[in-house]
Structure 1
Amino acid sequence: MNRLTKMATASGVALGLILGTGITAAHAEEAPDSAEAVFEEFVDTLKVDAKTDAALTERFDDLPPAEQEGVADAIEENPLSVMVFDAGAPTLTSGTGTSAQPALARNSARGLHILTSAAAPRYTATYPVNASLFGITTGTFTMRYVFEATSTNVTRNLECTGWFTGAAGVWNIGTSQSNYVSGGQGACTVKYTMSLAFKGSFFTANKQQQLVYKGTRLTSASLKNI
């Protein structure tokens, strides 16, 4: 039963009480919260700052009544469904390589000795994803992938991490990471397991971010539900 149907039922209950049809007061308690009240409770749950709270409320108030009802119904069905996850463009920056790595070589005149070879240059790829509502950012998931590479091949992975910053409210967010290098191609994958408590129920959403590079060339950047 959607919100408008519930409200119509509640109105019928009230009219029935006036006309003495015998409808009990218990049924009258089924009247739902207003759309404004549902949205306000949801924003309070996110625990955003005052400026973001005001911006979200203003956007909601600007919606036609029917759209406000639709948003409120969606929130009550699954509050995570109204959040939009916008992936930004990955950025790649270069840095210094790691310290020289020892290698063994044999010299006919001097016998076995240690040579050093400089590591391939280090690169850091950053991949942000904003969690937003009405186009207003409430938090950001950031993925960082650090690797060594030539212009054509990834030679070693150094770091693959992901984290959330911003107003998480009562979100519980878990992450897991995996990475590989194969055939000169390097990949970093971060999985997020999210849950949100709202009106006594828990709602979940799982996302996966992935970056794949062939040397310094980006071959894939993806965000998907899992």
Structure 2
Amino acid sequence: MNRLTKVASASGIVLGLVLGTGITAANADEEPASAEALFSDFVDALNVSDAADAALDQTFDQLPAAEQERVADAIEEDPLSLMQFSSGAPTLTSGSATVALPAPARTSAGSITTASQHSVPDSKRATARNAASAPHIQTAASNPRYTATYPVNASLFGVTTGTFTMRYVFEATSTNVTRNLECTGWFTGAAGVWNISTSQSNYVSGGSGACTVRYNMALAFKGSLFSANKQQQLIYKGTRLTSATLKNV
């Protein structure tokens, strides 16, 4: 039942009361708030900035009355259906990295043999023992490190209310991804009634590396809970982007 039908039903209830048809007065409370009031409540619940709040109100006020009613119906039925998601182009930055490698294994017999073959003053021998017992770390240059960033804006009437961002860090040659280092995603912006959880997965196969982030979104409004799930994914073959997707899941 859309809002116009609800208004008509409410009018019928009032008429029934006048004619004495026995419809209770409690049912008359079903008459919905105005489209403008409902939209204002929704924007307040999103907890956007003052500038975004003003921009959204101005845009709504400029809509034809029929479109305002359509928006109000959507808010009551599924507010998330009004949100638009637009992704920017992924960016890739590079930087070198080093990794720590464990020291080669040593045997006690080898150490003893070496010590017995050389005449070393006590002070120097002690220094040598201390150096041998200290942690020994070797560093080796890895393949270059690359960081891919993939933002997706959530907006209402073209006004950005928040941004989903995923970050994929990996090591690669020009033709092959060799190791994944990080795959994360997060939401920034208006919190309000949003409840967002994320899960991530990644893999390297055949020289291609992939990072996938899933967002489970829930929105509570006027006693109802609405949900939607989005998935971002980046796939690189070496330093070449082969896929950047955003889809419903």
TM over 0.5: yes
1:176 maps to 2:214: no
Identity of aligned residues (%): 77
- SS state at 2:30 partner: coil
Q: Does the C-alpha gap of structure 1 residues 119 and 103 become closer, same or farther in structure 2, counting only changes over 3 Å?
A: farther
**Per-residue deviation, 1:98:** 2.6
In structure 1, the gaps of 5 or more residues are: 105-113
CA contact (8 A) 2:98 2:139 kept: no
One-letter code aligned to 2:206: G
Deviation at 1:117, TM superposition (A): 4.6
Go from structure 1 to structure 2 and tell me whether the alpha carbon gap of 1:103 and 1:186 turns closer, same or farther (over 3 Å shift): farther
CA contact (8 A) 2:177 2:204 kept: yes
Q: Pairwise CA RMSD of aligned residues?
A: 2.0
| Alignment TM-score, normalising by the size of structure 2 | 0.82
Aligned counterparts of 1:11 and 1:93: Cα–Cα separation in 2: 62
- Cα distance in 2 for partners of 1:198, 1:33 equals 14
The runs of 5 or more residues in structure 2 that have no matched partner are 105-136
Tell me if structure 1 keeps the 8 A contact 2:193–2:219. yes
The structure where helix makes up a greater share of residues is 2
Partner residue of 2:114? none
Who is 1:88 aligned against?
88
- Which of 137, 144, 147 is 1:124 aligned to? 147
Q: Any idea what the Cα deviations from partners look like across 1:168-218, whole Å, max 9, x if unmatched?
A: 212111111111111110000011111111011111111111000000000
Larger Rg: 2
Question: What is the letter of the counterpart of residue 232 of structure 2?
Answer: Q
1:213 to 219, 236, 245: 236
Please state whether the residue corresponding to 1:29 is helix, strand or coil.
helix
CA offset at residue 146 of structure 1? 0.5
**Residues 71-150 of structure 1: pairs in structure 2 closer than 5 A:** 71-99=71-99, 117-150=140-173
Partner SS, residue 4 of structure 1: helix
Once the two structures are superposed, residues 13-37 of structure 1 have per-residue CA deviations (whole angstroms, 9 ceiling, x without a partner) of 3344455555432222111111111
Partners of 1:201 and 1:17 in 2: how far apart? 30
More strand by share: 1
Once residues 61 and 21 of structure 2 are traced to their aligned partners in structure 1, the CA distance between those partners, rounded to angstroms, is 37
Q: Is the 8 A contact 1:103 1:117 kept in 2?
A: no
Q: Secondary structure at the match of 1:143?
A: strand
